[in-house]
Structure 1
Amino acid sequence: MDIRSLSAAQSYAFARPATQPEPDHNGMAQGMRLTFQDFATTLKHSEHMAEASMVGQADPHALVQALAQTELAVETAVIVRNKVVEAYQEILRMPV
């Protein structure tokens, strides 16, 4: 057997595990799921506070605080979305 083919076979065998999914990626998916659930919870809380404020059952300070949290959550989501779109466009511009 030629030494170059042996070296190539060893390099391939070494690199092969890098192409297989790692069990750690499931933790990343779980983290993203929790992030989206927190975002939805923040929006629902703000809606409930606004409804309660309309009928006079909520403190105006709590309403302003809930709206500020919602504004921050939406701004963060927009920034993340813009970064994802920018990265996707950058990938599309890459030469093949």
Structure 2
Amino acid sequence: MNPMAAVKAYQAIQGAGAAGPTGGVGGAQGPGFGELLQSVMNDTTQQTRAAETQMNMAVQGQGSLIDVVTAVSSAEASLETVIAVRDQVIQAYQEIMRMPI
């Protein structure tokens, strides 16, 4: 997932949870948090596989080095996004666990 896709996903979530004019939650329901995470993981997996495919083609002499570098950079950015989200989820969980009952 590239950074722009992450921003668009974040904006979609923010728009889905916005309060309507009556003070309630808006009628348009966006994807759930679990669905969003599943989508991000699927995108990351696809980009990693694309990078592996480009590397295999380059090793066989059928691909260009620029395509390999681009695919690997995209996969790396996706992985960094997933790691950042994971770190934030863990931090939020730890904050919840520190709350007094």
> TM range, normalised to the smaller chain?
0.5 to 0.7
Determine the C-alpha separation between the residues in 1 that align with 2:84 and 2:35. Answer: 21
Q: Which one has a bigger Cα radius of gyration?
A: 1
1:20-74 per-position Cα deviation (integer Å, ceiling 9, x unaligned) = xxxx47x324433322211110111011111111111111100000011011011
Return the TM-score normalized by structure 2.
0.65
Alignment-derived partner of residue 20 in structure 1: none
Deviations 1:65-89 (A, max 9, x none): 0011011011111111100110000
Match of 1:45 among 36, 44, 50: 50
- Gap runs ≥5 in structure 1: 1-23
Question: What do you get for the CA RMSD once the two structures are aligned?
Answer: 2.2
Indicate if the aligned counterparts of 2:41 and 2:82 stay in contact, CA closer than 8 A.
Answer: no
Q: Which residue of 2 is the match for residue 12 of structure 1?
A: none
Larger relative CO (CA 8 A, sep 6+): 1 or 2?
2
TM-score by length of 1: 0.68
| The 10-residue stretch of structure 1 (78-87 or 28-37) with the greater mean CA deviation from structure 2 | 28-37
Gaps of 5+ in 2: 1-28
Provide the identity percentage: 28
SS in structure 2 of the partner of residue 58 of structure 1: coil
Does 2:90 correspond to 1:85? Answer: yes
Counterpart CA distance in 2 for 1:79 and 1:48 is: 26
Question: Aligned letter for 1:39?
Answer: T
